[in-house]
Amino acid sequence: MTNDPAVVFEAATKTYGGVPAVDGIDLTVRRGETVALLGRNGAGKSTTIALLLGLDEPDGGRVSLFGGAPARAVEAGRVGAMLQEGRPVPRVTVRELVSFVARTYPAPLPVAEALALAGLTELAGRRVDRLSGGQVQRVRFAVALAGSPELIVLDEPTAALDVEARQAFWESMRGYARRGNTVLFSTHYLEEADAHADRIVVLDSGRVVADGTSEQLKRAAGGSLVSFDLAGGPTEGLTLLPGVTSVEIRGDRALLRTDDSDATVRALAAMDAIRGLEVAAVSLDDAFLTLTRRTLETAR
Ligand SMILES: Nc1ncnc2c1ncn2[C@@H]1O[C@H](COP(=O)(O)OP(=O)(O)O)[C@@H](O)[C@H]1O
Ligand SMILES: [Mg+2]
């Protein structure tokens, strides 16, 4: 077996009616990684996933899975997917459904194993149309695992689930990832990307605006926030302080984003009459807002 990456996007684009849904994406996912595609509604997550699975062709650029065409990898059972639009729930048992799907693949996972991985062993004999929303998502997960894929792609798999069902879902995903498999999931929940992915790819208007661990994203967005009371003092020159990447004035407080809070604070301390000084780490929320600010501004 060669060592081609699981997923490669090279300058991939996809336009719907003149509007780019995917606007020049370059992305490589190595085998064994768990990657979150993080973005707001309309950021291009589902379109990216459709290109990745070969459900749609890019207008420009290239997408490959395991070094070949997406459709080939999908047919061979190397890729399993849970799409955002669920099909109607069939009136068969969990075991029947997973067995049926498994038989369509050349080298399926033993059904009992797929059920166990999805946490469905106890529910195997239950009818799928009588399960809760969280249980149905786990059935869809088992269906995605049926072909014994090396890569699994999940489009907002927990969007409609309560906290407990989400926990159970992510535990199943982790179990599958721990076997050395590759996972790509989309979400608009920052906490999910932070908690369950090794790497976060932030999409905004069809482009990758950030790519890294949550620590790297926080740094990229400006490592800390330094704030203080202006007390009528001047605001010009604050952007020139060491480390400062942006300045915001909120009422009578100045908020400085800085990638070197020590240097910024030292410079401020050298100025007279600085009151109410606070230093806080940027949260992933802050980072996400900074990285995707362009969208917010055009939306206004
Ligand atoms: N089949 C389609 N026809 C027209 N526009 C589409 C279609 N699919 C997606 N879009 C548009 O492309 C953009 C990205 O959509 P999508 O990939 O579904 O984003 P996300 O999954 O991040 O919410 C949106 O502006 C959406 O309206
Ligand atoms: Mg979507």
Instruction: Starting from the CA of residue 37, give the closest ligand.
Output: 1
Residue at token pair 């967005």:
221
pLDDT at residue number 3: 83
Q: Give burial (CB, 10 Å; 0-12/13-18/19+) of 13.
A: middle
Structure confidence by residue, pLDDT tens digits, 236-277 = 889 999 999 889 999 889 999 888 889 999 998 887 768 899
Residue 49 CA: nearest ligand 1 atom is 17
Q: Cα(244)–Cα(242) distance, rounded to whole angstroms?
A: 6
47 lines ligand 1 (CB under 6 A): yes
Residue 155 CA to ligand 2 centre (angstroms): 7
Whose atoms come closest to the Cα of 156: which ligand? 2
| Ligand 1 contacts CB of residue 155 (under 6 A) | no
The counts of H helices and E strands in the chain are 11, 13
Instruction: Give the pLDDT band of residue 288 (cuts 50, 70, 90).
Output: confident
- For residue 213, the model assigns a pLDDT of 93
Q: How confident is the model over 123-141, as pLDDT tens digits?
A: 999 999 999 988 999 999 9
DSSP classification of residue 227: E
Q: Locate the ligand 1 atom nearest the alpha carbon of residue 155 and give its number.
A: 21
Write out pLDDT tens, residues 9-22. Answer: 999 999 999 899 99
Find out whether the beta carbon of 39 lies less than 6 Å from any atom of ligand 1. Answer: yes
Take atom 8 of ligand 1 and give the residue whose Cα is closest: 47
Q: Are 286 and 221 in contact (CB under 8 A)?
A: yes
| Cα distance between residue 139 and residue 141, in whole Å | 5
User: What pLDDT, on a 0 to 100 scale, did the predictor assign at position 259?
Assistant: 84
Q: What is the spatial distance between Cα 244 and Cα 264, in angstroms, rounded to a whole number?
A: 7
Q: Give the number of whichever ligand sits closest to the CA of residue 159.
A: 2
Strand, coil or helix: 146: coil
Instruction: Kindly give the distance from the C-alpha atom of residue 57 to the centroid of ligand 1, in angstroms, as a whole number.
Output: 14
Q: Please tell me the distance from the alpha carbon of residue 106 to that of residue 76, in angstroms, as a whole number.
A: 7
Q: How many residues does the chain have?
A: 300
Superfamily of domain 7-217: P-loop containing nucleotide triphosphate hydrolases (3.40.50.300)
**Ligand 1 neighbour 46 (Cβ under 6 A):** yes
Distance, in Å, from the CA atom of 94 to the CA atom of 155, rounded to the nearest integer, reads 21
User: Do the domains 222-281 and 7-217 match in fold?
Assistant: no
Please give the order of strands across the beta sheet that includes 7-16.
19-29, 7-16, 60-65
Assigned token pair, 191 = 């906490």
Ligand closest to CA 41: 1
Pocket test for ligand 1, best of 47, 52, 184 (most atoms within 8 A of CB): 47
Question: 133-145 vs 94-102: helix axis angle to the nearest 10?
Answer: 20
19-77 tens-digit pLDDT:
999 999 999 999 999 999 999 999 999 999 999 999 999 999 999 999 999 999 998 89
Ligand 2 geometric centre to CA of 258 (Å): 33
- Domain 222-281 fold: Alpha-Beta Plaits (3.30.70)
Helix intervals (H) in the chain: 45-52, 70-75, 94-102, 111-117, 133-145, 163-178, 190-196, 214-220, 261-270, 284-291, 293-299
Exposure letters 127-161 (e unless 16+ CB within 10 A, then b): ebeebeebbbbbbbbbbbbbbbbbbbbbbbbbeeb
With cut-offs at 50, 70 and 90, classify the pLDDT of residue 299.
very low
CA 43 to centroid of ligand 1, rounded, Å? 8
Q: What is the tens place of the pLDDT at every residue in 173-184?
A: 999 999 999 999
Domain parsing of the chain, residue ranges: 7-217, 222-281
The CB of 45 under 6 Å from ligand 1? The reply is yes
